[in-house]
Every structure is written in C-alpha cells, then in structure tokens.
Amino acid sequence: MAKTLVFLFSLFFLSVISLATAAKSNGFANILSPAKLGLKKEKLSHLHFYFHDILSGRNPTAVRVASAAATNKSETFFGAIVMADDPLTATPDRNSTLVGKAQGIYASASQDELGFLMVLNFAFMEGKYNGSSLSLLGRNTVLSTVREMPIVGGSGLFRFARGYAQAKTHKVNFKTGDAVVEYNVYVFHY
C-alpha cells in the first residue's frame, strides 16, 4: 500500500510540475507528454549482427578520404579519416542475410594505440526495423578484446534511442585491413 501511495504522489507531483512548466512557455519550447507524440512504453532491445569493413579489392566498402602528412609514418595511422558504407549481416558470412549498413566515418584519433573515433549510423533494412537507424558516437580501441561505444540516438522505431554497442573482432586480415566485427547492441527506445 505504501508503494502505491508513493507512486500516486509521484504522478500527482509530476503532473503539477508539468502544468506549471507548460504555463511558463517561452514561445519556442514547450514541455510535452510522450503520449502527445504517440510514444508508448519504453522497451529495451538487443540487436546482434556482423560488421564487414572491406578496405581491399575492387569494391571496398570503406575508403580513406583524408590523412595528415605524418599519417603513413604513424604506427597508429593517426590522422587517417575513413568513410564507410559497410554491410551488416546476420552471421559472419559476408553472403548471409544483409540486415543493414554501417554508414559514416571513423578516424584514427590516438597517437599511442590503435584507437578510432567512430561516427556511424546503423541503417537497418530487414524485418521490423527496416527504415530505422541507430547513431553511434564513441571511441573504439580496435585491438581490445571487447569495445563499448555509446548509442546516442536513432530514427524510425528507434526514436529517442539510447544505449551502448559492444564490438568484438571476429576476424581481421592485417595485410589488407579487412575485418569482420561482431556487434551486440542494447538500446532503450519507444
């Protein structure tokens, strides 16, 4: 019973604050109820897929678009910027079901270790998430066993998304730079 009273009081208190705040609208911003946007209960989803970063061959999916004069002398490729349109598949096999694309930029941002700044959209094209996307922005120390990067937003069914992605290298060819990376993504969304 005490928990019910606390819950009801909390709802009442939030309603009063919302009404008071809404009354003080400054003209360009208002506080809205999630229900006004048709948002229902928030849920937690887990997505699992494989990222194929292909730098070699006739049809690379990632290409260097900029670098500094010292980039090729750096052990970490510091200053290299790569544009990617990498396939995301259901299994490590490149020919398995294409679930989406990782589109964006990654750049070597560390002089001491192989550490990338990742700015990617995971654009999904399969199943119920077809047409929806997640945005990742974070640090990827690619030689670490498991890397964690934040999910900072999304679109479509992932509107208001927040969460994190764990990346684990499945396979890498150090000669060509081609890599297959397993991703486990956990996101809260409506």
Measured CA to CA, the distance from residue 130 to residue 134 in angstroms comes to 12
Mean pLDDT of 145-151: 98
Within-domain flag for 16: no
In a domain, 11, yes or no: no
Mean pLDDT, range 15-42, rounded to an integer: 72
pTM of the entire structure?
Answer: 0.83
At residue 178, the pLDDT reads: 97
Between 17 and 174, the higher pLDDT residue: 174
CA distance 128 to 7: 34
pLDDT at 72: 92
User: Which whole number is the average pLDDT over 52-78?
Assistant: 96
**146 within some domain:** yes
- Is 5 domain-assigned? no
Domain coverage including residue 173: 40-189
Residue 45 pLDDT exceeds 70? yes
The CATH number of the domain where 114 resides is what?
2.40.480.10
Is the residue at 57 inside a domain?
Answer: yes
Identify residue 167 by its one-letter amino acid code.
A
Pick from 22-26, 45-49, 170-174: least confident: 22-26
Average pLDDT over residues 71-80: 94
Q: Indicate whether 3 pLDDT > 60.
A: no
Mean pLDDT of 12-38: 67
**161 burial via Cβ count (<10 Å: 0-12, 13-18, 19+):** buried
Distance CA 168, CA 179 (A): 11
Q: Which two tokens stand for residue 59?
A: 């049809």
In a domain, 31, yes or no: no
In a domain, residue 94? The reply is yes
How many domains, the chain?
A: 1
pLDDT band per the 50, 70, 90 thresholds, residue 22: very low
Confidence of residue 26 (pLDDT cuts 50, 70, 90): low
